[in-house]
Copies of this chain bind each other. A is one copy, B any other.
Amino acid sequence: MKKNILLIFILLLISCKSDDNHNKSKNLILNDNLQKLQSPNKNLDLSFHLDLNGRPIYSLNFENKAVVLESGLGFIIKDNVEWMKIDTLDMMNNFKILDIKFDTKDEVWRPVWGEESEIRNNYNEMLVELEQSDSERRLNIRFRLFDDSFGFRYEFPQQKNLGSFIVIDEKTEFAMNGDHTAFWIPGDYDTQEYNYITSKLSEIKKKSIEFKEENVSMFRFSDWGVQTSLMMKSVDGLYINIHEAALIEYSAMHLEFNPKSMTFESHLTPDAFGNMAYMNAPHNTPWRTVIVGNSASDILASRITYNLNEPSKIEDTSWIKPTKYMGVWWEMITGQSTWWYTDDLSSVRINETNYDSLTPNNTHAANNTKVMRYIDFASEHGFDALLVEGWNIGWEDWFNKKKDYVFDFQTPYPDFDIEKLNKYAEKKGISLMMHHETSGAIRNYERHIDDAYSLMNKYGYKSVKSGYVGRIIPAGERHYGQYMVDHYIYAIDKAADYKIMVNAHEAVRPTGVARTYPNHIGNESARGAEFRGSKLNHTTILPFTRLIGGPMDYTPGIFEMDPRKNRPDFTPNLNETLAPGSVTTTLANQLGLYVVIYSPLQMAADLPKNYMRFPDAFQFIKDVALDWDESVYLEAEPGEFITIARKQKGSNNWFVGNSNGYNKRDAIVNFEFLDSNKTYTAKIYRDKEDSDYATNPQSYEIEEIEVTSDSKIKITTVPAGGFAISIFPN
């Protein structure tokens, strides 16, 4: 069979028209090992061959334009025993093809929640089975071509000459066809919470050196390093996105740009010894993905990340519900209240410190009176849940201290009556949302996780916001290393046993794993609303980067952009730098984010008192849906603007959101996505003429008009402005 396949492809090759990119071949192609694969609609072409060194080489074209030029694949590994004393082994060269297998799939599956209720999974597949001539070690590479994207993974089959081994380096390349414009954040083992940089590929190093943002845990490994998902606009007008899918039992992949070869090289996240991953055959790596299209919207519409993940492991998903929530949180972020209960002590010891004997600081937010007030407000306005942070003992010295036993996730502060508050919330139709800040002490969290989840079950908590602030314990492990990747999955998998939904902050960027664990309803893993302001175009980039892997708990809905004004004693001081929680958008932009930043978990992050100042704008947050039948990407340009329309799941309501970048702009909303035989009432929440994110962000207007599928309207957005539209059928 192998021989026949080879023959077919030799014939195919001969009939192939020559294209420009082949002129850039680094190596002579041996005709008898060139393999080709096309996507179902033939838009995407993959070529694969072994070069003269026996190294696997691939390249990718889209409509005959080069997306990835000839790029190498493979690994440097070590045998696992006595690994400190021995040399590395090459698993990159000297391969021969043992067999090639083809497959194709066209199916539709229904996610538990998502941007659309049905997802098509349609690809052509090529599995290349390789063996090294000298060592007889075997490596398979599985390629899948979708109409809008490309993915491949390495598979180490069960074999005699490779059992347990160490990945010293993954040598995956993505050779670029020009000096594209990229939207990127620096490669970092411990944080993703950066503003995005827009630059030419060749400028990455320079911009990286200039980029001074700091975080409590960070490790930037190279001035040429960037994180995925990496968004690019190519020199010949293509939109290209590189990411990974199904990051499980492996370390997260970064990219390091080589300016000489104009090639991105994979850079995994190491452990304390610099080892990248520990593997044992049979086992696979995550998928490496490239999405490509002629318009930016094509990137947003791709479903490759979910399609390359395994179906849900959870059989009964009836308990997994999109959730709109408020929180006892923003007042701590903005410095008006504290997570901790007392200022008496510089350090506490869980199960030893007697809190009842200490003086309350009177700024502890998670107290019975206040929580009940929040419950009342959330209930009155139709929310599902209320997050309460700072409910449990230990916050006095929790922060980034490499303190192992930092929390027990069990013991409430003396002024937080866990039973009473949960009963009160239940009576009001609100579910309290649990908070598990680990402070990076992973062993401690895993030791307590069963008891912590049990406590949630006991009191009726349905979801948990988990946090991984600060440096990881054990020492030398990184937020995005294999050890931590494995932990995040462990916490989510175990939560499913308790029917608990998880929203993990500071965890590794998502890679579509929520398909397999749909209780994983949220992640932060990027710069959210809580910072001292972000670049004006931040939210026009997030959907092209961070959101490619899954939903983000961005915590939008900030109506008071200057958090100092929340304080009763506020007096303006123009010399003061931006306070934590400062927001650099208009209020209308904040509303648009509920549609622009897809998440089944959406927060109204601001204080109740600020919502009461703008009840008409608050109405949009109350109205907007969380789960969708259909999403239409109306207009989008990374870094500039984005407008998305979404149809509420099981309803004829639509919601439109827009976020605008640095420049004032007229957005055009074409309502052709509506049913042609219906009329609708559209309520438009928009910037006013005098809106200004810095000086007058709360200037907005609300307009109600009738629309049909023939309607087309122009909405002017100011810099960092935006709009939101609710559309209800008449």
| A-to-B contact residues, CB < 8 Å | 80-83, 158-164, 166, 271-273, 275, 278, 280-283, 345-349, 352, 397, 399-404, 443, 446-447, 450, 474-477, 483, 486, 490
Known: A397-B280, A483-B474. A447 touches B346 (CB 8 A): no
User: For residue A399, which residues in chain B have a CB less than 8 angstroms away from its CB?
Assistant: 81
User: For residue A349, which residues in chain B have a CB less than 8 angstroms away from its CB?
Assistant: 280, 282-283
User: For residue A280, which residues in chain B have a CB less than 8 angstroms away from its CB?
Assistant: 347-349, 397, 401, 403
Q: How far is the CB of A27 from chain B (nearest CB, A)?
A: 33
Q: How far is the CA of A69 from the CA of B711 in the complex (A)?
A: 94
Q: How far is the CB of A243 from chain B (nearest CB, A)?
A: 25
Q: How far is the CB of A403 from chain B (nearest CB, A)?
A: 5
One of B160, B162, B273 near A475 (C-beta < 8 A): B273
User: For residue A490, which residues in chain B have a CB less than 8 angstroms away from its CB?
Assistant: 447
One of B163, B345, B401, B483 near A347 (C-beta < 8 A): B163
User: Would you call B400 and A81 a contact (CB within 8 A)?
Assistant: yes
Least CB separation from A278: chain B residue = B402
User: Would you call B271 and A397 a contact (CB within 8 A)?
Assistant: no
One of B163, B477, B486 near A397 (C-beta < 8 A): B163
**What are 26 contact pairs spanning A and B, CB under 8 A?**
A80-B401, A82-B400, A158-B347, A162-B347, A163-B346, A163-B347, A271-B476, A272-B474, A272-B475, A272-B476, A280-B347, A280-B348, A280-B401, A281-B346, A281-B347, A282-B349, A282-B352, A404-B486, A443-B443, A446-B446, A447-B490, A450-B450, A474-B483, A475-B476, A475-B483, A476-B476
Known: A447-B446, A474-B474, A490-B447. A164 touches B401 (CB 8 A): yes
User: For residue A271, which residues in chain B have a CB less than 8 angstroms away from its CB?
Assistant: 474-476
Q: How far is the CB of A116 from chain B (nearest CB, A)?
A: 33
Least CB separation from A84: chain B residue = B471
User: For residue A446, which residues in chain B have a CB less than 8 angstroms away from its CB?
Assistant: 443, 446-447
Q: How far is the CB of A4 from chain B (nearest CB, A)?
A: 31
7 A-B pairs with least C-beta separation: A163-B347, A272-B476, A163-B346, A272-B272, A164-B401, A80-B401, A271-B475
User: For residue A397, which residues in chain B have a CB less than 8 angstroms away from its CB?
Assistant: 163-164, 280
Q: How far is the CB of A32 from chain B (nearest CB, A)?
A: 32
Q: How far is the CA of A549 from the CA of B349 in the complex (A)?
A: 28
User: For residue A82, which residues in chain B have a CB less than 8 angstroms away from its CB?
Assistant: 400
Least CB separation from A275: chain B residue = B475
Q: How far is the CA of A525 from the CA of B400 in the complex (A)?
A: 34
Q: How far is the CA of A168 from the CA of B474 in the complex (A)?
A: 17
User: Would you call B477 and A346 a contact (CB within 8 A)?
Assistant: no
Q: How far is the CB of A618 from chain B (nearest CB, A)?
A: 39
Least CB separation from A280: chain B residue = B347
19 extra A-B contacts, CB within 8 A, seeds A166-B402, A271-B475: A80-B400, A80-B403, A81-B399, A81-B400, A81-B401, A158-B345, A161-B346, A163-B345, A163-B347, A164-B401, A164-B403, A272-B272, A272-B474, A275-B475, A278-B402, A281-B346, A474-B483, A475-B476, A476-B476
